[in-house]
Structure 1
Amino acid sequence: MSIGPRDPQVCDVLIEAGWVVPVVPRGVVLADHAVAVRDGAVIGIHPIAEARELYLPAEHVKRPDAALIPGLINAHTHNPMTLMRGVADDLPLMTWLNDHIWPIEGRIIGTDMVADGVTLAIAEMLRGGTTTCNENYFFPDVQAQVYKRHGFRAVVGLPVIDFPTAWAKDDDEYFDKARQVHDQWLGDPLIGTAFAPHAPYTVKDSSFERMAMLAEQLDIPVHCHVHETQGEVDDAMSATGLRPLARLDRLGVVSERLIAVHMTAVNDADIALCADKGVSVVHCPESNLKLASGFCPVARLQEAGINIAIGTDGAASNNDLDMFGEMRTAALLAKAVAGDATALQAGDALYAATMGGALAMGLAERVGSIECGKRADLVCVDLGALETQPIYHVLSQLVYSTGRQHVTDVWIDGVAKLRSRVLVDMDLDAIVANARSWGARISNA
């Protein structure tokens, strides 16, 4: 994994770690290694002694008790909803959505709410080692501006839904605005776009057909809640005689572009269809557990060769953006659902939370692993804490013992975003005060 020549060369940062976990190849752990970064990209991965001879770094970071991993990728979230964290807990999905979340959104949604919610989410994600997210919410133009301002990598969803919202009044406006946002950010190194239809039960056939055609033309994913509950599937069967995924397939949506979120209520035919068409599935275990939505059969999907990613969902239903917690829950839940203690092993969970998300979002050539030529989205995780001792297997320790509180340093494109647990260029006190102000406003709305 070394590069030449052997003459010392300048780099922007050299990060030494007790362990480097590149994720690709899967399961590999490199003890006492260093990663060299220049112009935002990884240019070398070497044993520490060799790296010190090869590079003259502008910044030299030494973390002998840490594991250096790729930045975590939250493959499904609604980040403006951080401002609704805990507003309607312990309720079933449709009651939570129809009687609480949508009415609250109707009263508060707007550009300020979206900007402030995304800012709060960015700070939370960075402190937890997440460097990329797959966003699904309204006002994607505002979201993109905020992510870009903070140097955070994001794919913003271009919403499509059958009823008027603060973002758009009808089908044509949803699609016109989607094209405008896509064109505005086309080619940006940090911001991408994806179509984000809410769900099969809130989007009509003609919109899905139009979306499938445009997604192909624009070369972007389609990010959609699919088979989130058994009730959704039962209602679809009663109304159309088709399971939602089968309907989407008939409309041309099921392909390698589809990012199917949740997928708790699936049968053998659904799994075979996803495997055949190259669909990626985003597993959101904690949100599904909290809303009693069901259990995604991750082991069966893996056995079929389906790409698995991990997402937190929104903070209104989780109630956090903690990808370390999500990895652990995903691994434990997969074993219980499969009745197999070997299901979704630690290395698989970490892969899903990094490369799995990158593959789903069309970013695998840029992020998701620590490889020469890829962007330097990197995270140091302190394994020197009491709670992580002793260390036998680093991958297991990362998934089963560590938490987001052990993240010490984060880089995106080689730029420091968290340094020694302190956010860089973000005013934590102001963000907290603003969140509290929104909490008072929402409580009194």
Structure 2
Amino acid sequence: MEIDQLIQAKWIIPVQPADAILQHHSLAITAGRIVDILPSDQARQKYNARSTFDCLTHAIIPGFVNSHTHAAMNLLKGLADDLPLMHWLHQHIWPAEARWLSETFVRDGTRLAIAEMLRSGTTTFNDMYLFPDVAVRCVQQSGIRASIGMVALDFPTPWAQNADEYINKGLVLYDQVKAESLIQMSFAPHAPYTVSDPALSRIATLSNELECPIHIHVHETAQEINDAISSNGQRPLERLDQLGLVTPHLQAVHVTQLTIEDIELLSQRGAHAIHCPESNMKLASGICPVPQLLEAGINVALGTDGCASNNDLDMLGEMRSAALLAKASNSDASLLPARQVLQMATLNGARALGIDHMTGSLEVGKSADLVAINLETIETQPIYDPLSTLIYAT
């Protein structure tokens, strides 16, 4: 049988089924889709491939889904470090953006971020930044898969002057990319403290009508919670729920400050949580209670945040950090095993973005979004468990 590509690997870790590690298997690919996964000796007899790739020292895994980025902020990497979130934002990041933000800035920063992500195994990213039209063009030129946020704020920037203009310009872009196979749009109100009730209500209505995701920072710091209670008497998630945003479309980013009631709300509404461990540790924002969220049946995905607060887009490092942080903060070494953090970085991210029918795991019929990682290096020897080696030694 004729196929486009045959990839032979020492190991294939498909993520689905959850515990599968396939040794000496091959992927048969045609028109960018996986048509078969089978033992390599059978694959060579069954298929006549136009191209064959021998990854005989590699583990093949699904491409990473980086579920929270600010790609253009790669150009602000290292600008201000060792600071808490609000000081970092108000005294450094927002003033820098006021000086430098432009289409050219977003183009160059997004291109740099995409190159970094592709080099480190990310094949899909979920972005939130200004000039999303420029980000769309960068994605089109690169071939990466992306969900691009239609950012919304109450204050003016070079992209828009008020919340309605942000939303309206985003909707124009939404219509323009409908036919794109690698791009989808999401509503991206920055945070409850930067977007007012009327704009949030409008976004909730539009999200429901268009079945479009909502990508928002929420419950990131204790100060955010305290300020919200002082100003309106509600926790931010309570307010968002009242406005109609806490639904299966919600991607709640950071969520480091959660009560039992907050977790129950996210679970009941079917919302998704996006965990950014390295950014949260670096800014001392708090720790997302990932084991408790998973126990409540909440889908938890993994993201790096922007380079300005991380300071890289490396999902391999993010997986290791997520696993170790969960173990240390809960005094339980069994939490977030290698299998689970790999799923958070791949399939769970695809679920949060609403694209798990096409990517996030290596299954017949899905897109061939995959990464081959060489495990036969000095640093990874010896190998007792390729999945454990992947998470803790690469």
Quick check: TM above 0.5? yes
**Is the contact between residue 111 and residue 142 of structure 1 (CA under 8 Å) also seen in structure 2?**
yes
After the TM superposition, which parts of structure 1 deviate over 4 Å for at least 4 consecutive aligned residues?
none
Written as runs of structure 1 = structure 2, the 5 A alignment for 1:33-44 is 33-44=25-36
Structure 1 residue 218: Cα displacement: 1.4
- Structure 2 counterpart of 1:237, which letter? I
1:370 and 2:362 are equivalent in the alignment: yes
- Counterpart in the other structure of 1:305: 297
Report the TM-score, using the length of structure 2 for normalisation: 0.99
**Is the contact between residue 27 and residue 395 of structure 1 (CA under 8 Å) also seen in structure 2?**
no
- Structure 2 counterpart of 1:17, which letter? A
1:121 and 2:113 are equivalent in the alignment: yes
- Structure 2 counterpart of 1:300, which letter? Q
Distance 1:131 1:373 in 2: 17
Distance 2:197 2:356 in 1: 31
**Is the contact between residue 164 and residue 199 of structure 2 (CA under 8 Å) also seen in structure 1?**
no
- Counterpart in the other structure of 2:148: 156
Which runs of 5 or more structure 2 residues have no equivalent in the other structure?
Answer: none
Distance 2:151 2:383 in 1: 45
- Structure 2 counterpart of 1:73, which letter? V
Structure 1 residue 325: Cα displacement: 0.2
Percent identity between the aligned chains? Answer: 51
Structure 1 residue 91: Cα displacement: 0.9
Structure 1 residue 336: Cα displacement: 1.3
Report the TM-score, using the length of structure 1 for normalisation: 0.88
Aligned residue among 175, 178, 182 for 1:190: 182
Q: Deviations over 1:419-441 (max 9, x none)?
A: xxxxxxxxxxxxxxxxxxxxxxx
Written as runs of structure 1 = structure 2, the 5 A alignment for 1:90-109 is 90-109=82-101
Distance 2:275 2:15 in 1: 19
1:276 and 2:272 are equivalent in the alignment: no
**Is the contact between residue 163 and residue 195 of structure 2 (CA under 8 Å) also seen in structure 1?**
no
Written as runs of structure 1 = structure 2, the 5 A alignment for 1:181-330 is 181-330=173-322
- Counterpart in the other structure of 2:131: 139
1:379 and 2:364 are equivalent in the alignment: no
- Structure 2 counterpart of 1:88, which letter? A
- Structure 2 counterpart of 1:275, which letter? S
- Counterpart in the other structure of 2:331: 339
Which runs of 5 or more structure 1 residues have no equivalent in the other structure?
Answer: 1-8, 403-445
Structure 1 residue 291: Cα displacement: 0.4
Structure 1 residue 252: Cα displacement: 0.2
- Structure 2 counterpart of 1:356, which letter? N
**Is the contact between residue 16 and residue 48 of structure 1 (CA under 8 Å) also seen in structure 2?**
yes
Structure 1 residue 377: Cα displacement: 0.4
Distance 2:124 2:6 in 1: 22
- Structure 2 counterpart of 1:327, which letter? M
- Structure 2 counterpart of 1:387, which letter? E
- Structure 1 counterpart of 2:82, which letter? D
Distance 1:125 1:364 in 2: 20
- Counterpart in the other structure of 2:349: 357
**Is the contact between residue 304 and residue 318 of structure 2 (CA under 8 Å) also seen in structure 1?**
yes
3-state SS of 1:202 partner: coil
Structure 1 residue 171: Cα displacement: 2.2
- How many residues are treated as equivalent by the alignment? 394
Give the root-mean-square deviation of aligned CA atoms: 0.7
1:49 and 2:36 are equivalent in the alignment: no
